[in-house]
Chains A and B, each alone.
Chain A
Amino acid sequence: MIGWLRHQKHAFAAALRRLRAQPVASLFAALAMGVSISLPWGLYLGLETLGRLAGELPARAEISAFLAADASTEQRRALEARLRQADIAEARYVPKEEALASLSTANGLADVAAGLPDNPLPDAWVIRPRADARDALVGLAEEVGRLPGVAETHVDSEWAERLQAGLALGHTVVVVLASLFGIALIAISGNVIRAQVLARRDEIQVSRLIGATDRHIRRPFLYLGALQGLLGGLAAGGVLAVAGALLRAPVERLGMLYGSHFPLRPPSALEIGVVLGLTALFGWLGALFSVSRTLRLVETAK
């Protein structure tokens, strides 16, 4: 066990020395990895920001129920009682005067509203059900629509659904991109390790002759791959930090124009940890694939 730990320590130190011996090559490999990883990572953070924004806006589905002009007081009370039940998150009564008033203040429609001889709008309820599955919404809309005194119901959930579908698509794109760039990372790491093995041909051949096992020769290269991946992850963090600093002002301006506040979300400590862990793992994998192949090459070329 102590011997094993000593071997690991030696190998880790050797990996650090090799990294330091070629600072420029290591830096460029880290940058290449960093740019690759920052694309899916940045997209993910953007989607998270959008998703949170969508949660804050009234993105949830609404049902509008328009009352018949001749609805009686009893019918109105029965409807109100139905809307106080547990499956309704919120129900807001919009009298026709309020509807006309909001129409008058809406851009471009003030003239239309002013030109009307009397108020043609019905009284209405705006209902937000607890469930937001489409079937449940339609079912509820039909049930409310059958109540006496209700002229018409309208399910207004389409834009929310589109947004959700768009976000889901975005998340799939993130997964696809992350997989592709994960493969790229393995390839970059494999190439770095291949170059390192070829550069250390003499050392490898001599070590073999004086009794080094395959594992002993491979170990520093595996550490090197993992370290290189880790540096790539850190570089990705750097790329995102720079991109974030550049994007913050324009995004906030855009948010203000929409009368909202879009704070760019920095990655959480957990996300940074996961990304660094994954990049180290992928760097290690690339080293693993590359080192055995290249070692065979080094050994046969005497």
Chain B
Amino acid sequence: MIGFSQVTKRYPGGHEALSGVNLAIEQGELVFLTGHSGAGKSTLLKLIAAIERPTSGIVSVNGQNVGRLSRRAVPYLRRNIGLVFQDHKLLFDRNVIENVLLPLDIAGFDRREALKRARAVIDKVGLLQREKANPIALSGGEQQRLCIARALVSRPALLLADEPTGNLDAGYAADIMAMFRDFNQVGTTLVIATHDDRAIAALGGRTLRLDHGKVEEIPS
């Protein structure tokens, strides 16, 4: 589903985040990216979602060369990818359900169908009681679950999560990881960047360690 071939990403200023990375991720896999901060985990995720473009090499998603996508084609790629951010990136000028409706509005869904889907996914992350709340009133764990709900509402085949439990205490982190495992079991491909080793140990799955821009497979 995802392929990296000799991918190098050099930022202006000369910092090389990835150097000659090769990897393949199959549909339905659960993959953890580990490595200390600055090792290139976020860069790797950004390349998959075409938020950044590789300096050289080929990044492909579902057979599309993502680094060469035209500006007009990028939105349609992103509609098939759910993104979960460490800082949630929620919009505080609208309530919980409106945040979840945003991807469906963008995709042009019928309002009634969109509401049905949004409620279902909010229920799945356990926020149905709070659907009219402003996200600022939610706890850190709830905000992260809301971010996940927004990422999942358009039923993407691929979910990318960048440090999803980075700001959370252990109890919330375990909740979130358990949720990810459930999604993986119904067929969603997950790539999760984290340095939470306990979560990796609890969930199992494939682990890739990034170190100085190189990828190393860790046998489980």
Contacts and interface: CB of A to CB of B under 8 A. Distances in A.
Most buried by A among B75, B83, B110, B151: B75
A209 B77 CA distance: 10
A7 B75 CA distance: 16
Contacts of B110: 6
B106 A207 contact: yes
Contacts of A111: none
Contacts of B79: 210-211
Given A3-B108, A214-B71, A209 B91 contact: no
A179 B187 CA distance: 61
A212 B83 CA distance: 14
Contacts of A208: 75, 78
Contact of B150 (A10, A210, A214, A216): A210
Interface in B83-130: 83, 89, 91, 93, 102-103, 105-108, 110
A214 B75 CA distance: 9
Nearest to A9: B111
Contacts of A6: 108, 110
Interface in A186-235: 202-203, 205-214, 216
Interface in B20-46: none
A211 B156 CA distance: 12
What band does the interface of chain A fall in when counting residues whose beta carbon is under 8 Å from B? Answer: 10 to 19
Nearest to B150: A210
Given A6-B110, A7-B108, A10-B105, A211 B76 contact: yes
A145 B102 CA distance: 86
A202 B107 contact: no
Contact of B102 (A3, A7, A210, A213): A210
A43 to B, nearest CB: 43
Nearest to B107: A211
B106 A216 contact: yes
B83 A209 contact: yes
Given A6-B110, A203-B91, A210-B106, 19 more contacts: A3-B108, A6-B108, A7-B108, A203-B93, A205-B89, A206-B89, A208-B75, A208-B78, A209-B89, A210-B102, A210-B103, A210-B154, A211-B76, A211-B79, A211-B103, A211-B106, A211-B107, A212-B106, A214-B71
11 contacts: A10-B105, A202-B89, A202-B91, A206-B89, A208-B75, A210-B151, A211-B75, A211-B76, A211-B78, A211-B79, A214-B72
Interface of A: 3, 6-7, 10, 202-203, 205-214, 216
Interface of B: 49, 51, 71-72, 75-79, 83, 89, 91, 93, 102-103, 105-108, 110, 150-151, 154
